[in-house]
Amino acid sequence: MIYKMTDNKWNSIKWFFDRLWENPDSFPDRGVLLALSEKDRKELFTSSRVALLRILLKHKSSISLSKLAELLQCSSDAIMQDIEVLEHLFLIKKDEKGYWKDNEAILLPEIELIIKRLEDSMLTTA
């Protein structure tokens, strides 16, 4: 799945930044902002990817692919597929020692803003 910007995603992001300006201390200093439909969220954040992120959260330093495979009881190939998706979303990074969680994920639902001209709304109420 390729993450593409749409009007609804852009509206969600604008809504988020309005909240951020109102109360900046209630949000992380670093993060990846993703506006996702329910379908996209389920496709991107599978149970295996969530398990991978949880393990990376628990470790304070990098963790090797073989150690991840051992902890998740999965093949290295399966984990690599999940890693590629999460790296593409900028949620994890790789260094010479292994993988580590880089950013907080801030997930927003897609919202659709309906903007009516004043004349249009007056016509429907008359």
- Condensed to tens digits (0 to 9), the pLDDT of residues 111-125 reads 554 444 545 555 555
**Residues whose CB is less than 8 angstroms from the CB of residue 80 and which lie 6 or more positions away in sequence, other chains included:** 65
**CATH code, 80:** 1.10.10.10
**Residues whose CB is less than 8 angstroms from the CB of residue 97 and which lie 6 or more positions away in sequence, other chains included:** 61, 62, 64
pTM of the full structure: 0.61
Give the pLDDT confidence of 23-75 residue by residue, as tens digits. Answer: 888 777 666 667 777 787 788 888 999 899 888 888 877 888 899 999 999 99
Structural domain contains residue 1? no
Closest CA to 99 of 68, 58, 54, 77: 68
The amino acid at 42: K
State the Cα–Cα distance between residues 41 and 107, nearest whole angstrom. Answer: 8
How many distinct structural domains can be found in the chain? Answer: 1
Structural domain contains residue 103? yes
The amino acid at 49: R
Structural domain contains residue 38? yes
Note down the domain range covering 16: 7-125
